[in-house]
Structure 1
Amino acid sequence: MDGLSTPKQKLSALIITYNEMGYIEKCINSISFADEIIVVDSFSNDGTYEYLQKHSKVKVIQNPFENFTAQKSFTLKQATNDWILFVDADEVVSNKLQEEITDTINNPNACEAYWFYRKFMFQNTPLNFSGWQTDKNHRLFRKSKARFTDKKIVHETLEVDGNSCILNEKLIHYCYKNYEDYKGKMLRYGQLKAKEAFYKEKQFNYLFMTIKPIWKFFNHYILRLGFLDGKKGITISYLNALGVLERYRELKRLEKKNELTYYLVMP
C-alpha cells in the first residue's frame, strides 16, 4: 500500500528583499517548514544580505531591482519545486497557516492557486479596518500554472491557468514599523505607479492630483471605517493618500522630463 501512496509535495518559499532587518528574521522562521527558501535581494545595505548568507536554510541571490513584477518573475525562475509560497519580508506565516498550506498542496483536488487574506499589524497591534479588511493576495500557487503579468510593475498580479481558491487562515502582515518607514514605502509605490501610468501613456491631470488623494483618505478613513482604528487609522489613511499624491507628482515630473528630452533631440 505504501508504494501506491502519493509522494509528498515539495514547497519552495520565495521572498524579495531590500533593507529588511527587523522584519526578515520573523519571516524566515515562519517559512522554515518549506523544502526550499530562496531570497532575491536588491543589494541591501542594512545587514539583510549578510544575515541571509549565514542562514543555513536560505539560498540568497542578489539582483538589481527594476520593479516588483520583474523582480518577482526573476525570483520565480529560481525555484526548483512546482508549488510556490511567495511572501513579503514583512509577512509571517502562523503555525495554523503552515498546517493549512501543507495539507492543501498534498490534497489531490487542490486548486492551481490560492488567495490569502491578511491580518495587518500596526507595529505590534492589529489594524482592523482602514481599508485593509478585504485585502487578499495570491501567495500559494503552482509554478507551472501561473505567471506574473507584465502589465503591472507594482502591486504585481498573478495570471493563473486554472482555478483559484481561498485559504482559511490569514497571513500576518507587519505593514507599519514606524512613520518614516511606511511613508517611504508609500512614496516609492506612488513613483512606481506613476511609471506604470506613464508607460500606458496616461496624462497628468491637475484635477486628479487634487481629487484622488482626498478621495483616497475619505475612502479609507470614513467609508472603510479607518476612524475605528483611532490614531492608527488617521496615520495609515493619510500616508496612503500621500502615496496617491506622489503618483501624480511623479507623473508630472516624468512628462516634463520627456518633453525636455524631446526638445533636446529635435534637429
Structure 2
Amino acid sequence: MDKAKNDISALLITLNEEDNIDAVLENLSFVNEIVVVDSYSSDATAEKVQNHKGVKLIQREFKNYTDQKEFALSQAKNDWILFLDADERVTPELKNEILEVTNGSNTASAYYFLRKFMFQNQVLRFSGWQTDKNYRLFKKSKVRFDQEKIVHETLIVNGDSATLKNKLIHYSYSNYEDYKGKMIKYGEMKAMEEFKKGNKARFYHFLFRPFYKFFNNYILRLGILDGRKGIIICYLNALGVHSRYKKLKELNNK
C-alpha cells in the first residue's frame, strides 16, 4: 500500500475501544507512524494494540480531551498529523486525497474532514450531521489546542485551512446505551467549561435549550427525514444539552 513521502503520524486516544481498535489500526496502514494514547482501558484495547507491529502504545490517565490530545500530539515524530477517533474510518478515496495534499506544494496548514455519520450500519443523512466537519489533518508546527475547551476540542491554526472533498466514515452510533453515555459525558464536560467561565444554570436553560436542540436538529435540520433514526439521535443530542445544565447546576450549588 502507498506510503506518504512526507511522513504522517496518525494519533488516537482510546478508552475501551476493543470493538474498533483492530479495524482502525488496519485502516491507518498507509501512514508512517501510529501512536495510541490509552486511558487505562478495562477491556482488551491495550492488548489488541500491542498485537499490531510498529504501533506505539502509551497508557495515561485521562483528564479531559484537550489535555489528552495535546499529549498525544507531543509524542508524534512527524509534522503531518492525522488525528482520528477509534470509530472513524478513512475511505480509499479519502486516503488518496490525504496523500495528495501531504505530498503536494502550497498546502494549507490544516484540513477539515467532512464526516458521514453511521447509525449502526445505515447512513444518517440529516439530523444536524449533514454539515458535520472537524480538523483531522494538520501540520503539528502550525497548530495548538485551545486550552479553554476540554470537550469538542478546538484547534487554533496558524495559516490557511481547507476542507477535503471526500468524507470520513463515522461509526459513532453502535447502540442506544453507548451513544446515550457519550452524550451525557460530553454534556457534563461542557458544563465544566461553562462553570470555569462563571456561567450559571437558570431554570429556562432546562426548558428552552434541550427543546431547541431537538427542534433545530429534527425539524430545521431535517431529522424527520431520517425516520426512527432521526428521532433517536435528535432526542439523545437534546439529552446531552439537558445533562450539561443539570451538571452545571450541581457545580453552582457546591
What's the TM-score, normalizing by structure 2?
Answer: 0.97
Deviation sequence 1:180-228 (CA, Å, 0-9, x none):
0000000000000000000011011111111100110001111000011
Match of 1:237 among 231, 234, 241: 234
Task: Find the counterpart in structure 2 of residue 40 from structure 1.
Answer: 37
Task: Find the counterpart in structure 1 of residue 185 from structure 2.
Answer: 188
Match of 1:107 among 90, 104, 108: 104
Number of equivalent positions: 251
How do residues 13-32 of structure 1 correspond to structure 2 at under 5 angstroms? 13-32=10-29
Check the 8 A contact 1:123/1:178 in 2, yes or no: yes
Report the structure number with the largest CA radius of gyration: 1
The CA distance in 1 between the partners of 2:99 and 2:127, in whole Å, is 31
Check the 8 A contact 2:22/2:49 in 1, yes or no: no
The CA distance in 2 between the partners of 1:57 and 1:126, in whole Å, is 33
The CA distance in 2 between the partners of 1:126 and 1:193, in whole Å, is 27
> What secondary structure sits across from 2:144 in the alignment?
strand
- 1:57 CA drift (Å): 3.1
- Tell me, which stretches of 5 or more residues in structure 1 are unaligned? 1-6, 258-267
How do residues 53-72 of structure 1 correspond to structure 2 at under 5 angstroms? 53-72=50-69
The CA distance in 1 between the partners of 2:144 and 2:109, in whole Å, is 12
Question: Over aligned residue pairs, what C-alpha RMSD do you find?
Answer: 0.9
Letter in 1 for 2:248: L
Task: Write out the 4+ residue segments of structure 1 that deviate beyond 4 Å after TM superposition.
Answer: none
> What secondary structure sits across from 1:116 in the alignment?
strand
Task: Find the counterpart in structure 1 of residue 73 from structure 2.
Answer: 76
> What secondary structure sits across from 1:230 in the alignment?
helix
Check the 8 A contact 1:32/1:57 in 2, yes or no: no
- Tell me, which stretches of 5 or more residues in structure 2 are unaligned? none
Q: Which moved more, 1:77-86 or 1:16-25?
A: 16-25
> What secondary structure sits across from 1:243 in the alignment?
helix
Check the 8 A contact 2:21/2:48 in 1, yes or no: no
Percent identity of paired positions between Structure 1 and Structure 2: 57
The CA distance in 1 between the partners of 2:216 and 2:193, in whole Å, is 23
Deviation sequence 1:245-264 (CA, Å, 0-9, x none):
0000000111122xxxxxxx
The CA distance in 2 between the partners of 1:213 and 1:28, in whole Å, is 36
Match of 1:221 among 218, 221, 229: 218
Task: Find the counterpart in structure 2 of residue 206 from structure 1.
Answer: 203
- 1:30 CA drift (Å): 1.1
Letter in 1 for 2:206: M
What's the TM-score, normalizing by structure 1?
Answer: 0.92
The CA distance in 2 between the partners of 1:22 and 1:206, in whole Å, is 40
How do residues 40-189 of structure 1 correspond to structure 2 at under 5 angstroms? 40-189=37-186
